[in-house]
Amino acid sequence: MAKRKSVDQIMPDLEAHMQASFNDLIRTTMRRLATKKRSPVYTGFFASSWKAASSPIQPVDKVEDYVPWSDLRKQKGANYQIKARFYPPKQFNYKRRVYIGNSAEYAIYALESGKVQSFVQGPEMARLVKEKFKERKPLISIASAAKEGAFGSTAGETYIGYTEI
């Protein structure tokens, strides 16, 4: 028989689940924003400049000050490089506000493309939130010796089968 937890364990378990899910959502959102599909890309600097913090992100970073993007800006052609410049610096508390923003100086102009808004306000973000905060139930299997004629068996052979519960 499965070991049962006392009712006193429910809140700590729920808190831990919420905390882990919240931070996973932040990391996943930042990774997805840092793509050509969800951010406008010329050199890749904007897509590389997503940041999470407990205060609003200030768009102050100039592309000219950061290699390799400053070099890519001067070149002709479709050269770009997306390389995350920031990672979530810590575990954020799910009870407090977290800002995900872009530190590129020209962020307000880059947002005009609509790619970011389509991701954040569209069905993809809603699915992501639903997926991250879904309660996960463990997969438990019971192994047993199957009798002749059980699934996957042939006449005269015995297989080990399992049942998911």
Asked if 48 and 93 sit in the same domain, the reply is yes
pLDDT at 103: 94
Domain total in the chain:
2
Predicted confidence pLDDT, tens digits, the chain (165 residues): 556 666 667 788 888 888 999 999 999 999 999 988 998 888 888 999 999 999 999 999 998 888 888 777 766 666 887 888 888 767 899 999 999 999 999 999 999 999 999 999 999 999 999 998 887 654 444 544 444 434 444 455 544 444 444
Domain that holds residue 68: 7-134
CA distance 79 to 99: 30
Asked if 129 and 145 sit in the same domain, the reply is no
Whether residue 2 lies inside any domain: the answer is: no
Whether residue 1 lies inside any domain: the answer is: no
Asked if 80 and 126 sit in the same domain, the reply is yes
Asked if 45 and 121 sit in the same domain, the reply is yes
Cβ(78)–Cβ(116) under 8 Å? no
